[in-house]
Structure formats: structure tokens, C-alpha cells
Structure 1
């Protein structure tokens, strides 16, 4: 996979969340004045060897309907409990605290990004 695209209403706020709170890096960013949008690619490593997120900011759009088909982005972290503590310290919105999956053993948590997209944190030793 190359990337997953998310439409965002405030690009700076989203870059801050994914880079400063979630620990990703801004890989590249480009404005498209003729199309009235900006693309920002972020991730935990370069695009050549990692799947990244494409944040799309349409300049004339202030709100999106997330719909009911979108689920979440999943990110593996070494320690879900520690990651949640770190995210809370940086102002992130934990909507499901770290703990075992209902009916399973995997440790997970959920964070909500500034546009309401869900990000799941999973431990590397997941069993479900």
C-alpha cells in the first residue's frame, strides 16, 4: 500500500496532531492553487518503504460528513498504556483507554483526531 487519504478541515491542526502528538513526520507538502487544495504526506518513515497518510485540505470546505462506513487507522505501538499516557500529556483525545479487547486478549486503545477520525493503537503481541 502507498497511502491512505484523509480529508481534513484544518491542515495545521491535523499536522500538529499526527506529528507532535502521534510522533509522525511531515514528509512533503504542496499547495495546488488552481485546484484550491493542499496535500501533506506524513508518516513514521519515508514513502519508499512505508505506508503513509495523505492529508488533503480542500480550501473551500469547512466540514465533512465522516459517514458510517469508515472504521479507523491502526498503528502498532510498543506499549499501548504508555502511548496513551504520552498522547494525553500532549493534549490528544483518548476515547477508549488502553486495555484488553472486548472478548479477546489484544491490548488496544482509540484516539480521535481533530476531524473525528479514529486511530486505533495496538500492541505488537496482539492475539486477536
Structure 2
């Protein structure tokens, strides 16, 4: 690999997730996961949004929720175009992505997210570092990894 003389990436700003309902997503991310709602706004249709996202007819409303520790999740609900689909990849499918969160109690967070309709994709595993780890998948295909780090 060639050395890069100037680092053009400064920092992470947010992670975006497209959802079918902002209200339902906010309920999960704030009510179940303990994030805080930072902003919500209707961006509407128009050429700016169409050109940013590369979708003709893009009409969207967004909400930003903030995780403990400060990472922002941008939730996007597209009102248009009308031919939207729910993408539900498996973890091995190219294009699949996941978010990882460090948790204090893996069993408790699993109980919370399962009660909200998310499902385990396996069983918790203890990895060589001593951390307990599992993936869960939401009703719309989003994947989260929970990691309870080993205590010293």
C-alpha cells in the first residue's frame, strides 16, 4: 500500500440507517437502546436530496439519535419514491454492514432488544479476549453486534 501524505478523513460524523418508520425507529433507539433524540426534520423532495443520495424522487424525513459516548445515528425514512424495498442481507452477503456497541450486560440488552422484535442470529460466544459477543438483526434487516468486554 502506498503511504498517504495527507489524511483527508478527519473523523466519523454519523452512521445512517434507512428505516420504514421514524417513529418506530426512534422508539427502539431511544426507548430500548437508551440513545437521545438530537434532531428530527423533514427534508422533503427535490434535486438536492436526489443528487446527494442518487435516487430520483427521493423524499425523506430524518432523525438523529445520539449514543452514550456521543456517536450519532441518522435515521432516514423515505416517503418516496414508491418502489422502495426492505434489504435483509445475511452477515456474509456483500454490502451487509453492522454496528458494534460495547455493553455492560449482554443478557439484559438481549432481553430488551428481543422484546422489541430483534432476533439473535446465533448464540453469545466468548472470544479469546474474554469478551462475550453476539449479532442481532432487526425486523428491517439492520444488524447490531453487542460486545460485553472482559472485566479485569
With the length of structure 1 as denominator, give the TM-score of the two structures. 0.77
Higher CA-based Rg:
2
Report what 2:137 is aligned to.
112
* CA 9–111 in structure 1, closer or farther in 2 if over 3 Å, else same: same
Is the CA contact 2:86–2:141 (under 8 Å) kept in the aligned structure 1?
A: no
With the length of structure 2 as denominator, give the TM-score of the two structures. 0.67
Aligned counterparts of 1:15 and 1:97: Cα–Cα separation in 2: 27
Q: RMSD of the alignment, in Å?
A: 2.5
Q: Which structure 2 residue ranges, 5 or more long, are not aligned?
A: 1-11, 47-58
Match 1:30 to one of 28, 37, 41: 41
* CA 6–90 in structure 1, closer or farther in 2 if over 3 Å, else same: closer
Q: Which structure 1 residue ranges, 5 or more long, are not aligned?
A: none
Aligned residues: 122
Aligned counterparts of 1:92 and 1:120: Cα–Cα separation in 2: 12
